[in-house]
Chain A
Amino acid sequence: MTSRIGRWLLTLPPALFLLVFFLAPSLIMVLASFRFPGDYGGLAPLQANGQWQLTLETYRFLFSDFIYAEIFLKSFAVALATTLACIVLAYPLAWLITRSPKKHRDVMLLLAVLPFASNFLIRVYAWMIILGPQAALSRGINQGLAAMGMEPVTLLFSPVAVLIGMVYVHLPFMILPLYINLDRHDPALLDAAQDLGASGWQRFWRVTWPLSLPGIYSGSVLVFIPVLGMFAIPDILGGTGDILIGNLIKEQFLGTRDWPFGATLSILLTLAVLAFVGLSAWFARRGRTSHG
């Protein structure tokens, strides 16, 4: 009896937190998406002349123009590319850290998260300088291209710059869960695999890789979701054609002040994220049982 009350008391604070800071705002958003925009932005009154003022207009508008679906797809593509790039970069790094002597590991992990010590915007603006046309990087690349008789390229304000910024900012979120996963692997498993005839590549592919999938899944969720909603990096490093869903939503609330449309977009984004998390959880479970 007391243990049941105790369990209730323990679940109450997180439940309250989710109710106040997730469920209630989401419902407000859902409601806002069905309302009319105000004459000077924001929302029109919910009731006028004794009538409820609700409409499906924003949804009709959203699905009437292919440009929004395109932006959604592009955002997913950028999030996917960022996640894949983070996996490719973080995996060897995390592996290297687990293989380092114990006394070096803490320093290496600290270096991996050290960029967080400086302001996010400053770090992104730094990339503006690094990728800028006057920087050594651009000049070097373009000299090389010119030598081969090819047209010069601009790094800054391009999809490449957006991707570089996204990967740079989110890489630690992939390194940490992967490191935690790889560090937990029993080294005896690799000895056993080798003893039973597995070459270096087979040991990785048959033992290390399948066992590290849960780490890859958690890292992917931690990278994919924030990248999907990110607007600051495309704002700063991207060109005019690099608008992602995050920029679009921000624009509705702060620019054109069409709140109902912004609410509609962000609800769809939330649903897309939930679908992605659900799918990856399903894959993670399936991966565990099918990788036998």
Chain B
Amino acid sequence: MALLELRNLTRRFGGVAAVDDVSLAIEAGEFVTLLGPSGCGKTTLLRMIAGFEVPDAGEILLDGRNIASIPPEKRPLHTVFQSYALFPHMTVADNVAFPLRMANAPRAELQRRVREMLDTVHLADKAGAYPMELSGGQKQRVALARSLVNRPRLLLLDEPLAALDAKLREAMQHELIALQREVGITFVFVTHAQDEALALSHRIAVMNDGRVEQFDTPARIYSQPANRFVADFIGSTNMLDVSVIEATPGGLRLEAEGLGIITAQPREDARTGQKGCLAVRPEQVGIGHTPDESLGNRFVGRVASLLYAGNVTTYTVELETGTRIEALLSNSTPGGPGFFETGDVVYVGWRHDAGVFLHD
């Protein structure tokens, strides 16, 4: 049995469905991310699980019990809020002790658990400090400690890293992964940052317009996007409009206007004559002064522009038809043959099974 199961959950605001018939099953111990652009319904979904929003339809099952009508203070789960929402008039230790006090925990146990929890988040020396005396990262850790101290069945995190700068965010990502592994509590994490979702999660639910577009592991979300939205939202992708010429279990033969036949990995639901798009990741695209015979799909073009990012360079190659293809090249061999200038005639290509066909 799944720890948390959402069944046909729907929430409407003035006739518009913010969450539209969402069903998800989350297993115990998982780190699941709800990922999507702002307004996709991920926060509303989280607030329904927490109890701050009441679903218009559907069920929320925690350990098999429908909790949809239980008020937030009675649900065995906690939320880490985007603003941390630490109590400014309480010390770090009193903030962390708050849920234990609400549960009338015995004094000795309360003190022991607060101390253990502060040790876990490396804030033992800040126990007597007030929230206003802490840095952003420390506040974040207090919020986590406060939410984990009475070992909830589930921890909900509402964009908890959004307020931190880039360096601190990365450090906190590592800490979150380690913390989740240490405490073994199921995390449901909400973010609009796809890199965060890919780095942290066991599974990602990509949301758009109140619906879950795909619920899968980060690797499959990235390499096998379910549809055009997922392919476009996660990472950058070359998208070519194509139609299916032939669909076999061994692979697809597609036709792109002006480019001829392109092969792509097999897909069960692809049918001859279907229209759609072909998604190819820039790092799957090879680029060179001479054609690479090992790549099943090859085209010639001219470097239209390039973006140097230090570790990698992204080349935008314009084919004769005007189609633009992005190729990502690692700069691991500086000065080597991998460098191209704007205007160079180059060959681009990708493996016969690199592309993913996404029907409309």
B39: interface (CB < 8 Å): no
Q: Which of B87-138 contact A (CB under 8 A)?
A: 87-91, 94, 98-99, 102-103
A186-B99 in contact (CB<8A):
no
A192: interface (CB < 8 Å): yes
Q: Count residues on chain A whose CB falls below 8 Å from chain B CBs.
A: 20
**Interchain Cβ contacts within 8 Å, total number:** 62
Minimal Cβ-Cβ distance residue in B for A209? B89
A195-B79 in contact (CB<8A):
yes
B73-A192 in contact (CB<8A):
no
> Which segment, of A68-76, A167-175, A197-205, A242-250, faces chain B?
A197-205
Chain B hits for A207, CB < 8 A: 87
B81-A211 in contact (CB<8A):
no
Q: Is the interface of A mostly helix, strand, loop or mixed?
A: helix
A103: interface (CB < 8 Å): no
B88-A196 in contact (CB<8A):
no
Instruction: Say which residue of A191, A197, A288, A291 sits within 8 Å of B102 (CB atoms).
Output: A197
Chain A hits for B146, CB < 8 A: 196
* Chain A 169-194: CB-based contact to B (< 8 A → 1; otherwise 0): 00000000000000000101101111
Cα A17 to Cα B89 in complex, Å, equals: 37
Chain B hits for A202, CB < 8 A: 102
Q: Which of B48-94 contact A (CB under 8 A)?
A: 50-52, 71-74, 78-79, 81, 83, 85-91, 94
Cα A104 to Cα B196 in complex, Å, equals: 42
B90-A197 in contact (CB<8A):
no
Cα A188 to Cα B98 in complex, Å, equals: 15
Q: How far is the CB of B215 from chain A (nearest CB, A)?
A: 25
Minimal Cβ-Cβ distance residue in B for A190? B85
Minimal Cβ-Cβ distance residue in B for A199? B73
A196-B99 in contact (CB<8A):
yes
B85-A188 in contact (CB<8A):
yes
Chain B hits for A199, CB < 8 A: 73, 102
Interface range, B side: 20 to 34
A292: interface (CB < 8 Å): yes
Q: How far is the CB of B230 from chain A (nearest CB, A)?
A: 31
Cα A192 to Cα B144 in complex, Å, equals: 12
A210: interface (CB < 8 Å): yes
Cα A193 to Cα B89 in complex, Å, equals: 13
B214: interface (CB < 8 Å): no
A198-B89 in contact (CB<8A):
no
Minimal Cβ-Cβ distance residue in A for B81? A188
Chain B hits for A186, CB < 8 A: 83, 85
Q: How far is the CB of B50 from chain A (nearest CB, A)?
A: 6
B147: interface (CB < 8 Å): yes
Cα A186 to Cα B87 in complex, Å, equals: 10
Chain A hits for B150, CB < 8 A: 197
A196-B91 in contact (CB<8A):
no
B81-A191 in contact (CB<8A):
yes
A292-B91 in contact (CB<8A):
yes
Q: How far is the CB of A213 from chain B (nearest CB, A)?
A: 9
B99-A291 in contact (CB<8A):
no
Cα A186 to Cα B73 in complex, Å, equals: 18
Q: How far is the CB of B286 from chain A (nearest CB, A)?
A: 50
Chain B hits for A195, CB < 8 A: 50-52, 72-73, 78-79
Contacts from B to A (Cβ < 8 Å): 50-52, 71-74, 78-79, 81, 83, 85-91, 94, 98-99, 102-103, 146-147, 150
* Extra contacts besides A196-B73, A197-B99 (17): CB < 8 Å: A188-B83, A189-B87, A193-B87, A194-B71, A195-B50, A196-B99, A197-B73, A197-B74, A197-B150, A199-B102, A202-B102, A288-B89, A291-B90, A292-B89, A292-B90, A292-B91, A292-B94
A-B contact pairs, 11 of them (CB 8 A): A189-B87, A191-B72, A191-B79, A191-B81, A195-B50, A195-B51, A197-B150, A199-B73, A206-B98, A207-B87, A211-B89
Report, nearest first, the 4 A-B pairs whose CB atoms are least far apart: A197-B102, A192-B85, A188-B85, A196-B99
